[in-house]
């Protein structure tokens, strides 16, 4: 089935309030996608997997993207069918302040880790997930790094996260055109000395 057929079938099943906004991939977006109402995502996923004509048995990829301009977080599901060799891309637009969406772990087990990663890096809460813990970052990490406004803390348990820029530490001054080469050299040495001092402090 073409993505348009899949979209029509889903829309026929759930109505245009749940599945809508089909983009056929002719413009900038290269893969056809459609939007899904977040709280019905599990029903849509179940139908995609269980319907014999759709038979989408492979959840390829779960991606979260932060769009602070639109005040939303998009969760994108790439779903593929091994048997029918077709694909559909589902997008759910969540509120950035309170990103909650039902989990798909009951439909595809592959969603388990991918959703955990999405929670870890973007803070999307997957409602009903059996084990929603941080996956890649330590449990006591603060913030969600893939958000656009994320700012890294200066240190983590006393380990600095920022190193001094080595280029700024060692400034090499070139001799002037007038031939003040000695001065320049002296400056360079002084800089190197301060640099070692700074390093020792660090």
Partner 1 sequence: MSEVVFANEMDEEMTLNMGPHHPSTHGVLRFIIQSDGEIIRKATPDVGYLHRSIEKIGERCTYQGYMPYTDRVDYVAAMFANECWASACEKLMDIEVPKRAQYLRVISCELNRISSHMVALGAMAMDIGAITPFPWALREREYINDLIEELCGARLTFNYHRIGGVSFDMPKGWRDKVFAFLETFDPAMEEFDRLITNNTIYVKRLADVAVISAEEAKDWGLVGPNLRASGVAWDLRKEDEYSVYPELDFDIPVGQGLVGTVGDCWDRFWLRCQECRESSKILRQALDKIDEHPEDDIMGKLPRKMKPTGEAYVRVESARGDMGCYVIGRGGQEPYRVRFRTGSFTAMGIVEPKSPGLFVADLVALIASLDVVAPEIDR
Give the footprint of partner 1 on this chain (CB under 8 A).
Answer: 27-31, 57-61, 63, 65, 76, 78, 82, 85, 89, 108-110, 112-114, 117, 121, 134-138, 145-146
Residue 196 DSSP SS3: helix
Residue with smaller CB distance to partner 1, 146 or 169: 146
Nearer to partner 1, 41 or 121 (CB): 121
The CA distance from 197 to 29, in Å, is 53
- Beta-carbon contacts of 188 under 8 Å, excluding residues fewer than 6 positions away, are 171, 172, 173
Letter string b/e over residues 18-42, b meaning 16 or more CB atoms within 10 A of that residue's CB = bbeebbeeeeeeeebbbbbbbebbb
- Distance of closest approach, residue 142 Cβ to partner 1, in angstroms: 15
Least Å distance between CB 59 and partner 1?
6
The single-letter DSSP state of residue 144 is: -
Which is closer to partner 1, CB of 41 or CB of 111? 111
Contact between 44 and 14 under an 8 Å Cβ cutoff? The reply is yes
In angstroms, give the least distance from the CB of 119 to partner 1. Answer: 13
**Tally of residues, the chain:** 202
User: Beta 72-80 vs 87-95: how paired, if at all?
Assistant: antiparallel
Nearer to partner 1, 40 or 147 (CB): 147
CB of 73 to partner 1, least distance (A): 11
Is the Cβ of residue 38 or residue 120 nearer to partner 1 in the bound state?
Answer: 120
Give me the least distance between CB of 61 and partner 1, in Å please.
4
């Amino acid at each position: 089935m073409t993505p348009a057929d899949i979209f029509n079938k889903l829309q026929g099943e759930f109505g245009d309030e749940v599945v809508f906004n089909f983009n056929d991939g002719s413009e900038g977006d290269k893969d056809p996608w459609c939007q899904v109402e977040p709280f019905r995502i599990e029903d849509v996923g179940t139908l995609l997997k269980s319907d014999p004509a759709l038979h989408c048995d492979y959840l390829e990829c779960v991606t979260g993207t932060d769009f602070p301009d639109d005040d939303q977080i998009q969760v994108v599901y790439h779903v593929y069918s091994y048997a029918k060799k077709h694909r559909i891309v589902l997008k759910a637009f969540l509120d950035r302040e309170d990103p909650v969406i039902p989990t798909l772990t009951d439909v595809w087990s592959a969603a388990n880790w991918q959703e955990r990663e999405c929670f870890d890096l973007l803070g999307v809460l997957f409602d009903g997930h059996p084990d929603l813990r941080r996956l890649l970052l330590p449990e006591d990490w603060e913030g969600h790094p893939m958000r656009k406004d994320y700012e890294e803390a200066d240190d983590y348990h006393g380990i600095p996260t920022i190193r001094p820029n080595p280029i700024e530490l060692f400034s090499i001054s070139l001799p002037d055109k007038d031939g003040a080469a000695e001065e320049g050299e002296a400056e360079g040495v002084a800089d190197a000395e301060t640099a070692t001092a700074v390093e020792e402090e660090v």
